[in-house]
Amino acid sequence: MRHLVRLLAVLCVATPALAWEHWGGDRGGSRFSPLKEITPDNVANLIRAWEFRTGDLDRRAPEVMRRTKFQATPLFVEDSLVFCSPFNEVIALDPGSGAQKWRYDPGISTHQRPANRYVCRGVAYWVDDNAPAGAVCRSRIFMGTNDARLIALDAKSGIRCTGFGNAGEVRLDIGMTLEWPGEFQVTSPPVVGRGVIVVGSAIGDNRRVDAPRGAVRAFDARSGAPRWNFDPLRHDGIEAGHANVWAPMSVDEARGLVFLPTTSPSPDFWGGKRSGNNEHANSVVALRIETGEQVWSFQTVHHDLWDYDLPAQPTLARIDVSEAMRDVVIQPTKQGFLFVLDRNSGRPVWPVEERAVPQGAAEGERPSPTQPFPTHVPTLVPQKISVDDAFDPFPLLGRSTCKEQFASARSEGLYTPPSTQGTLLFPFTGGGVNWGGVAFDPLHQILYANVSRAVHLVKLIPREQAIGFNPPPGHDFGRQEGAPFAMSRAVVMSPLGLLCNKPPWGEMVAVDLRAGKILWRSTVGTTEDRAPLGIARPWGMPLVNGVVVTAGGLVFTGAMDAYLRAFDAKTGRELWQGRLPVPGVANPMTYLWRGEQYVVISAGGHSEAGTTIGDSVVAFRLPRQGEAPSLWSRTIDRPGGRFLGGAISAGLVVALMAAGTWRWRRRSDAR
């Protein structure tokens, strides 16, 4: 009987995913597809179907391209694949051939220096059921831009919807003067429900206490008229901005709710002028989408001092709890937690404990004495680092600078306050889980997530020392004006260019939510595209992107090396790799076109991580009769992929990386 209930749940939530009409597959971001043509038995036969290039590499200056991140997930709507480039060009492709059908260019300036680089993770799709069939702009594509506009296009042709706002666009009113044009931007797709479109924002971090406010804005999806604004922060007696929503949001159309994953207040690492818990920062907030009225809020970090904002879309799911199906919100975090909340009330489905955390903060700071810890679902990554955890693959070369760096800093576990001595943050501010979010298989009740393992060293710099401070290479420097301290932040690495914590540095994790246990872990990514000679050590690579799980029993993901990968959803065994022109640091998607299942990923590299940059969208499918095997595909004979064995290859990697061929660059929160 329970299996039948689960099957009905799949049919209810999965049908829209056949079309992939939303960034996360459906409005709730499950990233589950009911397609099953590609299976563990035939995935090894996948061939590259087509590759489309946006043309940015040819048309943009190299210094501009180095400020981009191509992280878009296409939608499959109106018989087209529709996505946005880092410069907010919206492009529609033929699903079978990858040929361009139409293109819209909003004319983004390449001189604005966006705080989070030029990035557009996706667009939103909406159909106006009140409009006549066949009318222009009955179906619409909405996009937020790097220069703070909200644009509406006809989904079939790409022309502007002139009845929306001012000739098809609304300029977002930021409400204050920006320090520079790129301090405020929109990087994630808006969401639409009940005729209302909701858009968040991405704002430059650690610049000043009096930073732009993180208001979420809603507009009428037909006319573009303002509907409501919601500021997550209560500004009574505090000095702070932000708590913005830069990650994707989710919508429950039936309940009329929109779910916001909010961020930390400004600045990130010193909050002496924003006393208290800073409600509703670092929270999942449920609003009525038609009015902006708050229904409930659940805070995952009190008085955040670690940039542990909510980076991922809240995933809406029906889970099997105590002999019944229950509607929930699953919120992954950078710390590696999974908070599972009742969708109606926001109360935790399983107990969340307030536990004492390290104290002894910098002058003027008053950290929260406790923080919330979920108790039922295990953490997805370790949360404490020590000298014994330092990675020293070649100790005969001499003393370990990694151990020295670990030993010199404060490291008392999760939520150790930032300090002038220097504090280790583990997980680092890039996760745990980052903006790629999680995927949920409703039939088997299993959640899948990509996670990263890296360490940040954060140091507070007294104001008098910050004047004229020149950060060392690889260090992120934030002035935090208005606070008594500036800050510096860097991923802890050895002189050889390796992360200082022991591998794996990137993993995929499968979680049985009902049982509260991790089913398997699988390392994702090798050093093949980061070390000379293609030496591929199976150490995993930091992962900011997410996965897609299919009813065919597969989980697909990109990584920091140039492969799209397929894993067996039951066992975690890596089954197949599809070669990409550059790393695919984006969420993959899948769709059915004329009876054939395709898997697609944007391959643009990751400028902050120092990878090769590209501008491709690549699709794979099973071969048709008579088609030869693809040179772009290979099967995996062992977990972790192809690599040279033993200490010889490890030594070669270490020696070659000493030349500086591998790096994880300074903006390592990876937004």
Instruction: Kindly state the helix (H) or strand (E) to which residue 100 belongs, with its residue range.
Output: strand 100-104
Range 194-198 contact pairs with CB under 8 angstroms and sequence separation of 24 or more: 194/253, 194/256, 194/289, 194/290, 195/128, 195/220, 195/221, 195/222, 195/290, 196/220, 196/221, 196/227, 196/289, 196/290, 197/124, 197/126, 197/142, 197/150, 197/221, 198/249, 198/251, 198/258, 198/289
What percent of the chain clears pLDDT 90, i.e. is strictly above it?
A: 82
Q: Nearest Cα to 530, choosing from 520, 522, 517, 539? A: 539
Average pLDDT, the chain: 91
**652 domain-assigned:** yes
- Give the integer Cα–Cα distance in Å for 354 and 534: 47
Q: Nearest Cα to 562, choosing from 621, 509, 602? A: 602
Residue 395 has pLDDT above 80, yes or no: no
DSSP for 477-521, written as a single string: EE--BTSSEEEEEEE-B-TTS-BSBPSP-EEEEEEETTTTEEEEE
- Give the integer Cα–Cα distance in Å for 174 and 202: 12
Residue 28 has pLDDT above 60, yes or no: yes
What percent of the chain clears pLDDT 70, i.e. is strictly above it?
A: 90
Burial class (CB in 10 A: 0-12, 13-18, 19+), 293: exposed
**670 domain-assigned:** no
pLDDT classification of 400: cutoffs 50, 70, 90: confident
Range of the structural domain that residue 472 is part of: 2-657
SS3 403: helix
Q: What is the CATH number of the domain that holds 396?
A: 2.140.10.10
**Is the distance from CB of 183 to CB of 201 less than 8 angstroms?**
no
- Give the integer Cα–Cα distance in Å for 81 and 95: 6
What average pLDDT does the segment 373-387 reach?
96
What average pLDDT does the segment 405-421 reach?
97
pLDDT classification of 532: cutoffs 50, 70, 90: low
- Give the integer Cα–Cα distance in Å for 663 and 326: 44
Residue 216 has pLDDT above 50, yes or no: yes
Q: What pLDDT, on the 0 to 100 scale, is given for residue 530?
A: 66
Q: Which residues contact 8 (CB under 8 A, 6 or more apart)?
A: none
CB 106: neighbour CB atoms within 10 A?
Answer: 19
**667 domain-assigned:** no
Q: Which of 307, 476, 561, 669 is catalytic?
A: 307
SS3 523: strand
Q: What pLDDT, on the 0 to 100 scale, is given for residue 663?
A: 42
Q: What pLDDT, on the 0 to 100 scale, is given for residue 195?
A: 98
What average pLDDT does the segment 309-323 reach?
93
- Give the integer Cα–Cα distance in Å for 584 and 561: 8
Domain total for the chain?
Answer: 1
What average pLDDT does the segment 181-187 reach?
96
Residue 417 has pLDDT above 70, yes or no: yes
**666 domain-assigned:** no
**669 domain-assigned:** no
Q: How far lies 309's CA from each of 393, 434, 478, 494, in Å? A: 33, 10, 17, 27
Residue 629 has pLDDT above 90, yes or no: no
- Range with the poorest average pLDDT among 9-23, 323-337, 499-513: 9-23
**21 domain-assigned:** yes
Q: What pLDDT, on the 0 to 100 scale, is given for residue 399?
A: 59
466-524 tens-digit pLDDT = 998 888 888 999 999 999 999 999 999 988 788 999 999 999 999 999 999 999 999 99
Q: Provide the CB-side half-sphere exposure for 151 (13 A, CA).
A: 26
And the tokens for 249? 């949001």
What single-letter DSSP state applies at residue 417? P
Residue with tokens 């708050």: 294
Q: Which residue has the higher pLDDT, 243 or 661?
A: 243
Residue 58 has pLDDT above 90, yes or no: yes
Q: What pLDDT, on the 0 to 100 scale, is given for residue 648?
A: 41
And the tokens for 301? 């970090």
What average pLDDT does the segment 47-54 reach?
98
- Give the integer Cα–Cα distance in Å for 451 and 435: 11
Q: What pLDDT, on the 0 to 100 scale, is given for residue 611?
A: 87
241-279 tens-digit pLDDT = 899 999 999 999 999 999 999 999 999 999 999 999 999
**Is the distance from CB of 345 to CB of 368 less than 8 angstroms?**
no
- Compute CA 299 distance to the chain's CA centroid, rounded to the nearest angstrom: 19
Residue with tokens 């992107």: 545
**Is the distance from CB of 201 to CB of 245 less than 8 angstroms?**
yes
Residue 624 has pLDDT above 60, yes or no: yes
Instruction: Kindly state the helix (H) or strand (E) to which residue 171 belongs, with its residue range.
Output: strand 169-171
**405 domain-assigned:** yes
What average pLDDT does the segment 559-586 reach?
97
What average pLDDT does the segment 652-670 reach?
44
pLDDT classification of 665: cutoffs 50, 70, 90: very low
And the tokens for 40? 């563990």
Decide if 307 is catalytic.
Answer: yes
**Is the distance from CB of 421 to CB of 409 less than 8 angstroms?**
yes
Residue 613 has pLDDT above 90, yes or no: yes
Residue 658 has pLDDT above 50, yes or no: no
- Range with the poorest average pLDDT among 303-312, 410-419, 467-476: 467-476
Rounded to the nearest 10°, the torsion over CA 531, 532, 535, 538 is 10
Q: What pLDDT, on the 0 to 100 scale, is given for residue 331?
A: 98
SS3 611: coil
275-300 tens-digit pLDDT = 999 999 999 999 999 999 999 999 99
90-142 tens-digit pLDDT = 999 999 999 999 999 999 999 989 999 999 999 999 999 999 999 999 999 99
**241 domain-assigned:** yes
SS3 581: coil
